[in-house]
Chains A and B, each alone.
Chain A
Amino acid sequence: EADIYQTPRYLVIGTGKKITLECSQTMGHDKMYWYQQDPGMELHLIHYSYGVNSTEKGDLSSESTVSRIRTEHFPLTLESARPSHTSQYLCASSVQNTGELFFGEGSRLTVL
């Protein structure tokens, strides 16, 4: 059983609000990721981190930002949410060189 947690699970907010999606893992993994998932679409990598103070943008351009101050914590922030940000956001972590990602249960964001 993977120990990676995302909060909130569901969030409905108005346009222009700042939001932070939390992601924490207790497995000591160095690598962490944020994927965006829309119905019927593939998962798109939007951010990743290979360790503390390391953050990179993924393949899909995103207006969100991330930080990695602690190994176990990888929050995602939207400074000003818009309806186009409505989606499910999945956080994941991985053990070095195994290829296996451990996913959280996701945060479903709806922006009105």
Chain B
Amino acid sequence: AQSVTQPDIHITVSEGASLELRCNYSYGATPYLFWYVQSPGQGLQLLLKYFSGDTLVQGIKGFEAEFKRSQSSFNLRKPSVHWSDAAEYFCAVGSNFGNEKLTFGTGTRLTIIP
């Protein structure tokens, strides 16, 4: 069975600082990986996804993520965070192309301080 671990429950960073949110997955074959963001009182929005090819993927809002098969990781990064990035971030894994039955991690809450 597939699973996702987000080891950081809550992260606080200063505005303008760099950000890295960790995600580790467990899946026997090639995973399909996603990062979603949830602002307070809102639904989830897709930031980026990895299916195959280049292991560094670019997303919306200046985010990127790198797939590292050897580490079973798909960490999310942003070089300079903005106050509007404060939200909950969820990593998710899918089992095969076109199967949108995703398994989500528990999320990482990001707080931005001035």
**Chain A residues engaging chain B, CB cutoff 8 angstroms:** 2, 4, 31, 33, 35, 40-43, 45, 48, 58-59, 90, 92, 94, 96-101, 103-106
Number of A-B residue pairs at CB separation under 8 A: 65
B84 within 8 A of A: no
CB pair A105 B9 closer than 8 Å:
no
B25 within 8 A of A: no
Name A31's contact: one of B9, B32, B46, B100 (CB within 8 Å).
B100
Knowing that A42-B4, A99-B51, A105-B42 touch, tell me 12 more A-B residue pairs with CB under 8 angstroms.
Answer: A33-B101, A45-B101, A45-B102, A90-B44, A96-B98, A97-B98, A98-B98, A99-B98, A100-B49, A103-B36, A105-B41, A106-B42
CB pair A99 B101 closer than 8 Å:
no
Name B43's contact: one of A40, A41, A105 (CB within 8 Å).
A105
Name B106's contact: one of A41, A45, A98 (CB within 8 Å).
A41
Name A43's contact: one of B41, B42, B90 (CB within 8 Å).
B90
Can you pick out 14 interface pairs between chain A and chain B where the beta carbons lie within 8 Å of each other? Answer: A2-B45, A33-B100, A33-B101, A42-B4, A43-B44, A43-B90, A45-B102, A58-B101, A98-B98, A99-B32, A99-B94, A101-B36, A101-B44, A101-B102
